[in-house]
Amino acid sequence: MLLKLLHYLRCPQCRSQLSLSEATVGDWVEQGQLLCTQCRRTYAITKGIAYLYVENEEWKQLAAEAAGWVQMAKDAGCYDQTGIDIDFRLPYVPIPPWIDIARAFDIVLNIVRPRPGAMVVDIGAGRGWAAKQFAIRGCHAVAVEINDDDQIGLGRSLALMQHANVQYDLLIASSQRLPLADESFDIVFASAALHHSSCLATLLSEAARVLRRGGKLIAIHEPCIADHVTPEQDAPNIAQETAYNIHESRPKLDDYRHALRHAGLQELALFNHELYGTSIEDMQQWAANHWLSLLTADQIAMLRRKRTPTLWRTIRILRSRLQQLPDTTLVPPQDWMDQYYRHVGGSLTIIAQKP
Ligand SMILES: [Zn+2]
């Protein structure tokens, strides 16, 4: 943990300021103890990682989940990172799902353009690859994670930091109870983390709390299922994680929207990363491949009512919608995206702002 983070740390129980004692001296705090100035709880710093959680029922579930991630990786034969070092290059490795994650990550960086010195929280940080990428870009990054495992959890960040010659903060804490001060961060970042939350509304409210006015919430690679999918139909998709005590949910578009609104965050863009920055022709091709998802319910009803050849009529409607596109656009039109997620579902990129 960097010494300068102390100013931004708060007790996860009562949100009062913390003081540092029994610490190693220097900019980097390797060992030490954080003491709440109000409720007098203490929190350890060990091997540079600050353990800022309260041992309650919520944390017991998160601890079981953390153990589940380790066991799942072991059972899948991808636990030991020794000699592999793929994670030193994340997200830029040419294997799924990282191809998509890297593209989405570059897109949001291109849109938000974090300035050097910006305060960034990476929630559900895993091994900390995103916090490292923000640190490389000069940001003060804080990785928040439930898992301190030294292969697949935040413990692995020590190797990542050494390899990249950067430092960022390592906190073991609940993202639904961030041990951080109000209105102190410019960016809250999440990669495939929101959907692991047991309460999306609480998680996003916490994100909104720690964001400064004008600060951005960025989420990439979040699954979004179509409106018509029932919990029974979705059950097989979440069964593997659930068996390992990992909280896995597949929110719908409105679930994300309601949670954003509940948190008081203003949606700036919500889109599929595959389409960002593509040409009008490519968007038209994509639209043709997903033509049904781009029609409104009224238009589909009209197609069914009329006796004219369906295909011809579809093309005409589609063409009229494509003509609504502005000449230059990077993010696809929001109404296209809304209908795509409602009908088909897919990977979601979210950028929202604290007003
Ligand atoms: Zn306290």
On whether residue 351 sits in a domain, the answer given is: no
Q: How is 17-43 classified by DSSP, letter by letter? A: BEEEESPPSSSB--SEEEEETTT--EE
Q: What's the CA-to-centroid distance between 52 and ligand 1, angstroms?
A: 11
Say whether both 296 and 190 belong to one domain. Answer: no
pLDDT digits (tens, 9 = 90+) for 277-334: 777 677 767 766 765 555 566 666 665 665 555 555 555 666 665 555 444 457 777 8
Say whether both 182 and 284 belong to one domain. Answer: no
Pairing state between β 185-191 and 345-353: unpaired
Q: What's the CA-to-centroid distance between 20 and ligand 1, angstroms?
A: 13
- CATH code where residue 3 lies: 2.20.25
Say whether both 102 and 217 belong to one domain. Answer: yes
Considering the chain, what percentage of its residues have pLDDT values greater than 90?
Answer: 66
Q: What's the CA-to-centroid distance between 199 and ligand 1, angstroms?
A: 23
Say whether both 75 and 10 belong to one domain. Answer: no
Considering the chain, what percentage of its residues have pLDDT values greater than 70?
Answer: 87
Say whether both 160 and 238 belong to one domain. Answer: yes
Q: What is the pLDDT of residue 303?
A: 59
4 burial via Cβ count (<10 Å: 0-12, 13-18, 19+): exposed
Q: What's the CA-to-centroid distance between 19 and ligand 1, angstroms?
A: 11
On whether residue 355 sits in a domain, the answer given is: no
Any idea which of 5-14, 141-150, 194-203, 325-334 has the lowest mean pLDDT?
325-334
On whether residue 293 sits in a domain, the answer given is: yes
Q: What's the CA-to-centroid distance between 189 and ligand 1, angstroms?
A: 26
Which range among 22-26, 183-187, 237-241, 301-305 has the greatest average pLDDT? Answer: 183-187
Q: What's the CA-to-centroid distance between 14 and ligand 1, angstroms?
A: 4
Q: What's the CA-to-centroid distance between 10 and ligand 1, angstroms?
A: 8
Q: What's the CA-to-centroid distance between 105 and ligand 1, angstroms?
A: 35
Q: How is 79-121 classified by DSSP, letter by letter? A: ---TTT-GGGTTT--SSTTHHHHHHHHHHHHHHH-PPTT-EEE
Mean pLDDT across the stretch 205-212?
Answer: 98
Q: What is the pLDDT of residue 320?
A: 62
pLDDT digits (tens, 9 = 90+) for 236-258: 888 888 999 999 889 999 999 99
Q: pLDDT band for position 217 (50/70/90)?
A: very high
* Pair 347, 195: CB distance under 8 Å: no
Helix (H) or strand (E) holding 171: strand 169-172
Say whether both 176 and 209 belong to one domain. Answer: yes
Any idea which of 6-15, 81-90, 199-208, 312-321 has the lowest mean pLDDT?
312-321
Any idea which of 107-111, 172-176, 263-267, 332-336 has the lowest mean pLDDT?
332-336
Q: What is the pLDDT of residue 128?
A: 97
Helix (H) or strand (E) holding 289: helix 280-289
φ and ψ at 272, to 5 degrees?
-90, 125
Q: What's the CA-to-centroid distance between 42 and ligand 1, angstroms?
A: 8
Say whether both 285 and 269 belong to one domain. Answer: no
Say whether both 241 and 293 belong to one domain. Answer: no
Q: What's the CA-to-centroid distance between 36 and ligand 1, angstroms?
A: 5
pTM over 0.85? The answer is yes
Q: What is the pLDDT of residue 218?
A: 98
Longest dimension (CA), the chain: 81
Say whether both 92 and 31 belong to one domain. Answer: no
pLDDT digits (tens, 9 = 90+) for 122-167: 999 999 999 999 999 999 999 999 999 999 999 999 999 999 999 9
CA distances from 139 to 9, 227, 244 (A): 17, 38, 34
Q: Give CA angle at 237 (259, 105), nearest 5°.
A: 55
Bin 211: left if φ > 0, else alpha if -120 < ψ < 50, else beta: beta
Q: What's the CA-to-centroid distance between 168 and ligand 1, angstroms?
A: 24
Q: What's the CA-to-centroid distance between 332 and ligand 1, angstroms?
A: 46
Q: Residue 60 pLDDT > 70, yes or no?
A: yes
Question: For the chain, how many structural domains are there in total?
Answer: 3
Question: Could you list the residue range(s) of the whole structural domain that residue 315 is in?
Answer: 280-329
Query: Distance between CA atoms of 134 and 115, rounded to whole angstroms?
Result: 10
Q: What's the CA-to-centroid distance between 41 and ligand 1, angstroms?
A: 6
Q: What's the CA-to-centroid distance between 39 and ligand 1, angstroms?
A: 4
Say whether both 259 and 301 belong to one domain. Answer: no
Residue 48, token pair as written in the block: 């540079």
Q: What is the pLDDT of residue 327?
A: 46
Q: Which residues surround ligand 1, an ion (CB under 5 A)?
A: 11, 13-14, 16, 36, 38-39
On whether residue 335 sits in a domain, the answer given is: no
Residue 11, token pair as written in the block: 């007790």
Mean pLDDT across the stretch 8-26?
Answer: 91
Q: What's the CA-to-centroid distance between 154 and ligand 1, angstroms?
A: 24
